[in-house]
């Protein structure tokens, strides 16, 4: 089995341009289905979730080409409204395709995406939004079936600012008849990029980034092709800032709007790092001889709160901080699976339900580690950079969903990290 080997104890140094954002490119690829023409997506990261999305688009009848980090999708002719289970299983967030397939073809079918490593992943808000736009939705043993003679604009009120449900509603409403408002919409930057792409395709979407989004639908006519350049991945950036905080040294990340990272950079600054930013560049410096300090309680929350996706990497960086830091994971019920692996390295972390208290220890030691989910796996790499000795991290299939080349990126920042067969 392949493993990522990481030698700890080396300060990080260097500059890196952060890859395109997984959580932006996936809804953008889903949105290409609304265009009767060719769309182009630039700065597309090489991720297994992207590969899975391109396979789904091809299955639906799109012509897909990829060259480096540019992808072209021509959705002029779609041939099916069904996503088979095998393709759904390759990426549970494929539920994002439900709205655009339904909007374009009047029908959509897929198996229920089910839960994932983070716990149950309900989609009730997605389905309620589609019903509000006039779709019949049935859930049965053979999965989800949606049908609509024509979607009609309406007022959608989300009980939770769900990212995926907001995106699905935007995608379906873009070609519905009339105006749709989404109240309590998610405010993530990736939602703003989706709005911009839909408008470039001829849509009329406003308000993304706030809690109220207004969409004036085309009344059933498809959009045309559009262009987008995927924004930098703020969670990958948070991961690498956490890595530099853990290992010490000085790095500069480019390609990410620092304002999207402020909750994370504020915590790392409070822990004792020097964090500076301007435009799309973020610097972090930490003297390896000066340990990090524990920080105020970290509670995950919808954007612009502390991102749940950064919880694990930041936790890993605080395992050798002086003092104790409390985490409260409010977004997902099973997002502490990295803690047992951190304990193998000597971390002292106590958990009680959604609360985890990290009591800083003098030193972590290398261990054989396993990733059980995407961000938890990245967190183990962060901890390995600060540990004494060489760690081996397996379960890379999880990591490759969201990090194009973790070993390559860490090596560019002076780490000794490489892929090898696990003995």
The residue from 202, 203, 217, 402 that contacts ligand EPZ (CB under 6 A) is: 402
Measured from each CB, the residue nearest to ligand EPZ is 164
Q: Which residue lies nearer to ligand EPZ by CB, 22 or 152? A: 22
**Would you count residue 298 as binding ligand EPZ (CB under 6 A)?**
no
Contact indicator for 97, 91 with CB cutoff of 8 Å: no
CB of 278 to ligand EPZ, least distance (A): 26
User: 249-254 and 281-286 as β-strands: parallel, antiparallel, unpaired?
Assistant: antiparallel
Chain positions 252 to 291 lying near ligand EPZ, rule: CB under 6 A, are: none
CB of 1 to ligand EPZ, least distance (A): 23
Order of strands, sheet of 205-206, starting from the edge strand that comes earlier in the sequence: 155-157, 179-183, 212-216, 205-206
Q: Which residue lies nearer to ligand EPZ by CB, 235 or 318? A: 235
| DSSP for 295-336, written as a single string | -S-EEB-STTSB-GGGHHHHHHHTTTSBSEEEEE--S-SS--
Region of 402 (left: φ > 0; alpha: ψ -120 to 50; beta: rest) is: alpha
Q: Which residue lies nearer to ligand EPZ by CB, 248 or 402? A: 402
Main-chain dihedrals φ then ψ at residue 80, nearest 5 degrees? -155, 160
Catalytic residues: 116
Contact indicator for 198, 205 with CB cutoff of 8 Å: yes
Closest by Cα among 327, 232, 240 to 286: 240
Contact indicator for 418, 396 with CB cutoff of 8 Å: no
The residue from 308, 311, 317, 325 that contacts ligand EPZ (CB under 6 A) is: 308
**Would you count residue 126 as binding ligand EPZ (CB under 6 A)?**
yes
CB neighbour list of residue 275: distance below 8 Å, 6 or more residues apart = 241, 265, 268, 269, 282, 283, 284
Piece in contact with ligand EPZ (CB under 6 A), picked from 11-19, 66-74, 160-168, 382-390: 160-168
Q: Which residue lies nearer to ligand EPZ by CB, 334 or 414? A: 334
**Is the previous residue joined to 157 through a cis bond, with omega within 30 degrees of 0?**
no
Q: Which residue lies nearer to ligand EPZ by CB, 56 or 374? A: 374
Q: How many CB atoms lie within 10 A of CB 146?
A: 26
Piece in contact with ligand EPZ (CB under 6 A), picked from 163-171, 204-212, 246-254, 347-355: 163-171
User: 179-183 and 368-370 as β-strands: parallel, antiparallel, unpaired?
Assistant: unpaired
Chain positions 192 to 231 lying near ligand EPZ, rule: CB under 6 A, are: none
Q: Which residue lies nearer to ligand EPZ by CB, 121 or 416? A: 121
| Largest separation between any pair of C-alpha atoms in the chain | 66
Rg (CA), the chain: 21
> Could you say which DSSP state residue 261 is in?
G
Contact indicator for 71, 54 with CB cutoff of 8 Å: yes
Piece in contact with ligand EPZ (CB under 6 A), picked from 71-79, 143-151, 162-170, 248-256: 162-170
**Would you count residue 115 as binding ligand EPZ (CB under 6 A)?**
no
Q: How far is residue 313 from each of residues 1, 127, 164, 342, measured CA to CA in Å?
A: 24, 32, 23, 11
Piece in contact with ligand EPZ (CB under 6 A), picked from 20-28, 38-46, 319-327, 385-393: 20-28
**Would you count residue 239 as binding ligand EPZ (CB under 6 A)?**
no
Contact indicator for 180, 155 with CB cutoff of 8 Å: yes
The residue from 69, 309, 341, 370 that contacts ligand EPZ (CB under 6 A) is: 309
Site string for ligand EPZ, 362-401 (x = CB under 6 A): ------------xx--------------------------
Q: Which residue lies nearer to ligand EPZ by CB, 195 or 320? A: 195
**Would you count residue 123 as binding ligand EPZ (CB under 6 A)?**
yes
**Would you count residue 164 as binding ligand EPZ (CB under 6 A)?**
yes
Q: How far is residue 337 from each of residues 199, 356, 397, measured CA to CA in Å?
A: 40, 11, 16
The residue from 1, 85, 86, 122 that contacts ligand EPZ (CB under 6 A) is: 122
Site string for ligand EPZ, 64-103 (x = CB under 6 A): -----------------------------x----------
Token reading at 203 = 């849509």
Q: Which residue lies nearer to ligand EPZ by CB, 93 or 193? A: 93
The separation between the first and the last C-alpha atoms of the chain, rounded to the nearest angstrom, is 8
The residue from 40, 107, 147, 160 that contacts ligand EPZ (CB under 6 A) is: 160
Point out which residues bind ligand EPZ (CB under 6 A): 22-23, 26, 93, 121-126, 160, 162-165, 186, 235, 308-309, 331-332, 374-375, 402
């Amino acid at each position: 089995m392949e493993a990522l080997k990481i030698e700890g104890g080396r300060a990080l140094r260097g500059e890196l341009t952060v890859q395109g954002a997984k959580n932006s490119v996936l809804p953008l690829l889903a949105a290409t289905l609304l265009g009767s023409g060719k769309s182009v997506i630039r700065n597309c990261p090489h991720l297994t979730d992207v590969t899975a999305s391109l396979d789904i688009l091809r299955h639906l009848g799109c012509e897909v080409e990829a060259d480096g980090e540019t992808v072209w999708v021509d959705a002029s002719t779609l041939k099916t409204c069904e996503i088979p289970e095998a393709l759904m299983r390759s990426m549970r967030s494929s539920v994002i395709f439900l709205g655009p397939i339904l909007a374009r073809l009047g029908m959509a079918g897929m198996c229920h995406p089910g839960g994932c490593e983070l716990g149950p992943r309900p989609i009730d808000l997605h389905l309620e939004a589609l019903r509000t736009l006039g779709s019949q939705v049935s859930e049965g043993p053979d999965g989800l079936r949606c049908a609509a003679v024509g979607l009609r604009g309406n007022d959608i009120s989300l009980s939770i600012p769900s990212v995926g449900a907001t995106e699905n509603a935007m995608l379906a409403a873009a070609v519905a008849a009339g105006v749709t408002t989404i109240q309590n919409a998610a405010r993530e930057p990736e939602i703003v990029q989706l709005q911009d792409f839909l408008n470039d395709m001829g849509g009329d979407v406003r308000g993304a980034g706030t809690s109220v989004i207004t969409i004036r639908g085309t009344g059933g006519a498809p959009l045309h092709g559009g262009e987008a350049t995927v924004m930098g991945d703020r969670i990958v950036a948070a991961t690498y800032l956490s890595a530099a905080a853990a290992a010490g040294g000085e790095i500069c990340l480019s390609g990410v709007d620092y304002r999207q990272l402020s909750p994370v950079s504020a915590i790392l600054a409070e822990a004792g790092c020097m964090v500076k930013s301007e435009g799309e560049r973020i610097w972090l410096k930490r003297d390896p001889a000066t340990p990090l300090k524990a920080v105020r309680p970290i509670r995950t929350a919808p954007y612009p709160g502390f991102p749940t996706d950064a919880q694990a990497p930041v936790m890993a960086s605080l395992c050798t901080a002086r003092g104790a830091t409390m985490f409260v994971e409010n977004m997902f019920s099973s997002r502490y699976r990295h803690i047992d692996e951190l304990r193998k390295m000597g971390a002292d972390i106590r958990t009680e339900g959604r609360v985890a208290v990290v009591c800083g220890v003098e030193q972590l030691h290398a261990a054989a580690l396993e990733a059980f989910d995407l961000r938890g796996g990245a967190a183990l790499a962060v901890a390995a950079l600060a540990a004494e000795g060489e760690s081996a991290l397996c379960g890379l299939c999880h990591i490759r969903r969201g990090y194009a080349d973790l070993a390559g990126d860490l090596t560019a920042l002076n780490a000794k990290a490489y892929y090898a067969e696990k003995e």
